[in-house]
Structure 1
Amino acid sequence: MKGIILAGGSGTRLYPLTRTISKQLIPVYDKPMIYYPMSALMLAGIRDILLISTPHDLPRFSEMFGNGSDLGINISYAEQPHPEGLAQAFIIGKEFIGSDSVCLVLGDNIFFGHGFAEVVQRCSRLTEGGIIFGYLVKDPQRYGVVEFDQQKNVIGIEEKPAKPKSRYAVPGLYFYDNEVVAL
């Protein structure tokens, strides 16, 4: 399995701080925020990672991580000129993904919790279908929300809906088989 970190976007809700620095580079406790989603991939046993970001921010990430060897991983980089959603990450990363399955993680989210490492390790063994994490929230209209069918299968994700179809927010961690590149 390969990993993709999507570290684009302008972070407008964090202005004026993000006028000069990517939100993924803002320190959270003792390290830049991007280390947390990268750690989630590493906990899953994923060692080949593509970091996708804006042309403006990509050199900063490259300077920070280099080829990833200091962390025991392999990091490649790709530009996303304009933030056009999650699906574009798979289009940009199609060659990188090749015939592997893939985990996509958003670069501005922090994942933790009892048993988290075991859960992502299990998910990384995915060979068919997809796994989308969801988190029950009181105010789903503030988030991307999972839509389910009658059998509780995920059939869609709606971004900040006025009338949410569930109360499960998507925290930005997705596991997919290789069919995702064909969509």
Structure 2
Amino acid sequence: MTLIDPLPTMDATLHAWAVAAAVRDPEVPVLTIEDLGVLRDLEVDDGRVTVTITPTYSGCPATNAICDDIVIALTAAGFDDVDVRITLAPAWTTDWMSAAGAAKLHEFGIAPPTGRRAAGPIPVTLAVRCPQCGSPDTREIARFGSTACKALYECRACLEPFDHFKVH
């Protein structure tokens, strides 16, 4: 009698991707690493799961926590041999963030990145809409907010402070 693997490689890969994709960003827990575009690749080969991530920037303090959370999630899902690799090239960009991720940021009260990363001159943001009231009458208070990838803004209309996820 021949035993058939209940999770062929493709099904195992899809299952492992779903598990890894559900890992939350420790700095912005409303987002998953898939929402952010940090989860770049996943392969299952002979029971070994190799996950490749690109952190939002090379010095991101959440990288180690994300790696640990991926290993914990995949191990809990039955994958015993998990390797998480970090790649810095190509560099992460907010262009990799999903539309669902941007919507989650907005619902959470963080202004999502607007526009696309430019290949040439650095674009100037003329206005960041307040995620609370929608007013474009806002001002940057600090270039770095609660994390390095966000800036702190204030809305002049509703007077609420908010984070803006910077385009990069």
Q: TM-score, length-normalised on structure 2?
A: 0.25
Q: TM-score, length-normalised on structure 1?
A: 0.23
Larger radius of gyration: 2
Q: Which has the higher helix share?
A: 1
